[in-house]
Amino acid sequence: MSTVINFQTDPSKYRHWRVEYDGQVANLFMDVDENAGLFDGYQLKLNSYDLGVDIELSDIVQRMRFEHPEVKVVVMQSGNDKVFCAGANIRMLGGATHTHKVNFCKFTNETRNTYEAAEADSSQKYICAVRGACAGGGYELALACNYIMLTNDSNSSVALPEVPLLAVLPGTGGLTRVTDKRKVRRDRADIFCSIEEGVKGQRAKDWRLVDEVVANSKFDEAVQERAREFADASSKASGLTGIELTPLNRTFGKDGSVSYTAVEVEIDRASSRATITISGPDGDAPADMEAMQVMGADAYMLRVARELDDAIMHLRLNETELALLVFRTQGDAALVQAHEALLLDNQDHWLANEVLKFWKRVLKRVDMTSRTLIALVEHGSCFSGVFAELLWAADRSYMMEDEFEGDNRPMAAVTLSASNFGPMPMGNDLTRLETRFLGEPDAVAKAKACIGEALEAEAADELGLVTMILDDIDWEDEIRVFFEERASFSPDALTGMEANLRFAGPETMETRIFGRLTAWQNWIFQRPNAVGEKGALQRYGSGVRGEYNMERV
């Protein structure tokens, strides 16, 4: 699977989904083209999906928020009357590299989390209308919706059959959402996850696997009636007009570098490093939200978020052997503050809200990226507000202290804003500063008292905002030694260590989903019982069951 994966798409290119807009309600149909897999070697039969299908879904969910804010309810349904979705394509999983499988599961989790949060973040409620078999990842699509309706016929069921059929686990939060979100009783969940055929009709409702069961003859009418009811009950303003998410301005260099308008990715393969530089605004902030809406996708804060998001996904899936991601910023911090202030001062405006919520999702994607993350606060940098979150998402941060010979840029500084104290929580529902200073609420309060100040090295160090401050004499050597040492460690051990350390504090459904993915599924997908020559994934569909090593480990 050496094909470069492109995460940019638009409705004119969709092969697997279609959307029909009806005022406050959007009907989203999954109708997978079985001959349009992302890679060769498999067909996407029975509405099964691969990463390409999910890239389209991710794009739809994003466009629903920005291009169609008038939508209050989204109805997810199948374009195939006999099957809702058979889940992730087994042939794809059987032939994929381990790295691709794990990154695929991570991306699909992030997509599910995004539309699951759409009701709370954007007042867009997702209904899943299940007709036909809804198995594995198909049921996980449903589980991430806010409300599940199931038709009551002999063919329609919900199932998580991964353990009995494939010797793996649901990869997109299925086990966790069944117990933590749906509150299914543990012994019933044990039965549900141990049977191939799934659960149908009233039993699915009684066990809380779905919210409503409707006779097949009345199903379509009931779904649309429920959608209208939810839309009428929504507190979201009506008649909003969206903006178009135009294609990103992106070019690739021969060395693997990627250039956007405000984000630059430089690749150093010899050092196993990618450096991501964010450039500050080149002009004043829009006068008001109406002016920002006219600018649309070109508005600076939205443009940078989209570019950084794309860069992170590209590096995850297409540059898997790079060990380090280094974040830099350069620009006028005061301009960054002004652009951000427009959003913070107008959070009741739908577009300001969406841009801020998008930044929350982008930063969560940074948190979940399995690379060593480093932030360099250099002279001329603009780590202000939401950009400063990268300092605490990073595993380590280094800051220039005092003047550097021959460097005429403004002194390195960090500037805090209201963004750092609530609007951008991590998956553990704490801010990055609260996670950083776990058990030290006074440290967070001290930092909050400095909102708006340009904190140079000594002040930032005293507040604990950076890992280390270095002067002109030590900067290059200290950074070089750290880069070389880190790139020499086992990537497996680093992934485990960093994931453990990044998510200190309370567990949430989100951290459990990702924790179980990286710990359990990462290991189980390596085991011969699943992926060996005689394993369940390899033999699936052959009529011969997998042969298992029966030792309990």
pLDDT digits (tens, 9 = 90+) for 324-380: 999 999 999 999 999 999 999 999 999 999 999 999 999 999 999 999 999 999 999
CATH code for the part of the protein at 251-497: 3.90.226.10
Per 3-state DSSP, what percentage of the chain is helix, strand, and coil (rounded to 5)?
A: 45, 15, 40
Q: Give the tokens for residue 338.
A: 């002004």
**521: phi then psi, degrees, rounded to nearest 5:** -65, -35
Query: Partners of 85 in the beta sheet?
Result: 134
d(CA 37, CA 52): 7
- For residue 59, pLDDT over 80 is answered with yes
Least confident of 98-102, 197-201, 448-452, 476-480: 98-102
pLDDT digits (tens, 9 = 90+) for 114-123: 999 999 999 9
Q: What is the DSSP string of 2-28?
A: -SPP-----GGG-SSEEEEEETTEEEE
Count other C-beta atoms under 10 Å from residue 525's C-beta: 20
Evaluate whether 85 touches 134 at the Cβ level (below 8 Å). Answer: yes
* Of 402, 401, 410, 391, residue with least CA distance to 328: 391
529's CB contacts (< 8 A; 6+ apart) are 167, 535, 536, 546, 548, 549
* Of 316, 331, 318, residue with least CA distance to 366: 316
Domain 11-233, CATH number (from 3.40.190.10, 1.10.600.10, 3.90.226.10, 3.40.50.720): 3.90.226.10
pLDDT digits (tens, 9 = 90+) for 127-144: 999 999 999 999 999 999
State the average pLDDT for the chain: 95
- For residue 1, pLDDT over 50 is answered with no
Q: Give the tokens for residue 521.
A: 């599924």
* Of 260, 380, 395, residue with least CA distance to 326: 395
pLDDT digits (tens, 9 = 90+) for 256-272: 999 999 999 999 999 99
d(CA 9, CA 62): 11
Q: Tell me what pLDDT residue 2 has.
A: 58
d(CA 137, CA 172): 7
Please, where are the H alpha helices in 74-193? 90-95, 98-116, 118-122, 137-143, 162-166, 174-176, 186-192
Evaluate whether 249 touches 261 at the Cβ level (below 8 Å). Answer: yes
Evaluate whether 78 touches 28 at the Cβ level (below 8 Å). Answer: no
pLDDT digits (tens, 9 = 90+) for 338-348: 999 999 999 99
Residue owning tokens 């002009």: 283
Dihedral angle over CA of 418, 423, 424, 427, nearest 10: 140
**Fold agreement (11-233, 251-497):** yes
Residue owning tokens 């991570």: 106
Count other C-beta atoms under 10 Å from residue 51's C-beta: 26
Evaluate whether 398 touches 468 at the Cβ level (below 8 Å). Answer: yes
Q: Give the tokens for residue 127.
A: 């209904």
Fill in the DSSP letter of residue 388.
G
* Of 370, 395, 464, 386, residue with least CA distance to 418: 386
Q: Give the tokens for residue 150.
A: 């199931």
Q: Tell me what pLDDT residue 337 has.
A: 98
What does R_g of the chain's alpha carbons equal in angstroms? 24
In the chain, where the domains are located: 11-233, 251-497
* Of 385, 408, 397, 516, residue with least CA distance to 465: 397
* Of 253, 372, 386, 363, residue with least CA distance to 308: 363
Q: Tell me what pLDDT residue 543 has.
A: 87
Rounded mean pLDDT, 404-413 = 97
**Is 214 strand, coil or helix?**
strand
- Mutual orientation of helices 350-367 and 98-116 as an angle, nearest 10°? 150
* Of 118, 105, 212, 107, residue with least CA distance to 158: 212
Evaluate whether 357 touches 122 at the Cβ level (below 8 Å). Answer: yes
Fill in the DSSP letter of residue 195.
-
d(CA 484, CA 481): 5
* Of 451, 242, 240, 248, residue with least CA distance to 355: 242
* Of 1, 18, 6, 161, residue with least CA distance to 90: 161
Q: Tell me what pLDDT residue 136 has.
A: 95
Q: Give the tokens for residue 75.
A: 């109805």
- Mutual orientation of helices 98-116 and 300-318 as an angle, nearest 10°? 150
pLDDT digits (tens, 9 = 90+) for 160-174: 999 999 898 888 899
Q: What is the DSSP string of 29-49?
A: EE---TT--SSSS---GGG-B
